[in-house]
Amino acid sequence: MVDDYKGRINQLVQEMNRIYGIDPEIEVTGRPPTQASSNFLTNKEQGDWAEEIVFKAINEYSPDYVAIKCGRSESLSSGDPGFPEFYIDYQNELNTIGKKPDLLIFNKLDIDPTDIDLNDEETVKQAIAAIEVRSSSFLANKYAEYMDDRTKTAIRECQIIRNEILKPEMAELLESKSPEIMKMLREATPNTFFELDFRRSSWSSSAGLKQLSELLKSLKEQIKILHKRDYLSITPKLEDIALVNRWVQQFNVPHFYLQVFFDKAYVIPFKDILGIATNPDKEGSVFTVEGDVKNQNKTTIKINVQVGKEIIGKIDMPEHKSEMKELERGRLLFYVTFRGGHGYLDHDIFMSEIVENE
């Protein structure tokens, strides 16, 4: 039930604090950055485009519900007049009510979309869902095809190498040197190659042992490929967890992350993100915690998108073009802007995962 939603979230955040050292009472501080970068501006443009795709898709394909933009609408960036004041005001907001979601979803029977005051706390509490939109510079379908081919190729190479090692002469050498590795290879199947783990010795006292050593080296290289993360991710930043929780505790509105790629989008409840990230059995297979280059190497939880639901099954590619920004000192920044595109909302997923999700 929604009534105890914020309590469940708070419990999970406390567990996140125990595991990752998240401070639920965090105070955001720091001086405003003095200069933007081309990457920052491009990422901001892409994020704004992704939010617009979700906003329009919900409002076009959901007759009974409406998406309202909730996050800050200012387009200021470092170096713009008024940015330091904006930055400090934003920090104060984070420290008071937490991180606002990008979108709020309302039942049209509860509010008048043309006359809504999101500064009124009771109005915000009428929302049935809050959505944090994240963007990613991938085509999800193409990525899945590539990773599937990579995995199949690595498994095929493992089979070829294993068969070479199990030929009588090589097998006899390996049995004499490492019966443990021999047992693993005899029992391995295409579905279990990724589970293999062994320490390879560099044998060189004969031509046969040199060849065996090279074969085992090649096998480990293919197994290493199978160990690499092969899924696209929903990417909540670790530092945002406490700030999102602060907003949830204030307004008690169920929160969701929606990850937008350039061809589709996935949604996952915030409580599921916390539940996954606090389950050590899922680390490595369902999620990883790592630095994200796109987010200034900030520690990010990367959860397999397949855990979420494909809420927008198709997105038409936007137009993109180069723009130029002139800074006060005369420095020029060139970045990419995105316009247009169209997202096709799966209304059944929207209803089951967002509207009816408890």
Is residue 203 domain-resident?
yes
Which tens digits make up the pLDDT trace of 279-313? 999 998 899 998 765 555 578 899 999 999 999 99
Question: What is the per-residue pLDDT for 261?
Answer: 97
Question: What is the pLDDT at residue 1?
Answer: 46
Indicate if 334 and 253 belong to the same structural domain. yes
Question: Residue 105 pLDDT more than 90?
Answer: yes
- Name beta bridge partners: 266: 259, 310
Closest of 36, 34, 261, 229 to residue 140, by C-alpha: 261
In-domain check, residue 293: no
Regarding whether 67 and 203 lie in a shared domain, the answer is no
Tens-digit pLDDT profile for residues 59-101 = 999 999 999 999 776 777 777 778 888 889 989 999 999 999 9
Instruction: Let me know if residue 295 belongs to a domain.
Output: no
User: Which of the pair, 255 or 294, is modelled with greater confidence?
Assistant: 255
In this structure, the answer to whether residues 157 and 271 fall within a common structural domain is no
Q: Is the pLDDT of residue 139 over 80?
A: yes
Instruction: Tell me: do 188 and 312 sit in the same domain.
Output: no
pLDDT at 297: 56
Could you give the count of Cα atoms lying within 13 Å of 198 in the half-sphere of its Cβ?
23
Residues 36 and 53 in one domain: yes
Domain that holds residue 85: 2-138+240-283+305-355
Is residue 347 included in any domain, yes or no? yes
Is residue 288, in this structure, part of any structural domain at all?
A: no
Say if residue 15 is in the same domain as residue 161: no
Residues 61 and 205 in one domain: no
Q: Same domain, yes or no, for 127 and 265? A: yes
Give the pLDDT confidence of 212-249 residue by residue, as tens digits. 999 999 999 999 999 888 899 998 988 899 999 999 99
Three-state SS letters, the chain: CHHHHHHHHHHHHHHHHHHHCCCCCCCCCCCCCCCCCHHHHHHHHHHHHHHHHHHHHHHHHCCCEEEEECCCCCCCCCCCCCHHHHHHHHHHHHHHCCCCCCEEEEECCCCCCCCCCCCCHHHHCCCCEEEEEEECCCCHHHHHHHHHHHHHHHHHHHHHHHHHHCCHHHHHHHHHHCHHHHHHHHHCCCCCHHHCCCCCCCCCCCHHHHHHHHHHHHHHHHHHHHHCCCCCEECCECCHHHHHHHHHHHHCCCEEEEEECCCCEEEEEHHHHHHHHCCHHHECCCEEEEEEHHHCCEEEEEEEHHHCEEEEEEEECCEEEEEEEECCCCCEEEEEEEECCEEEECHHHHHHHHHCCC
Mean pLDDT, rounded, of the chain:
91
341 is a domain residue: yes
Give tens-digit pLDDT for 149-173: 999 999 999 999 999 999 999 999 9
- Amino acid 306: pLDDT: 92
Instruction: Tell whether 149 and 88 lie within a shared domain.
Output: no
Whether 57 and 119 share a structural domain: yes
Whether residue 79 contacts residue 34, with contact meaning beta carbons closer than 8 Å, is answered with: yes
Domain membership of residue 298 (yes or no) is no
Gap between the Cα atoms of 40 and 63, Å rounded: 36
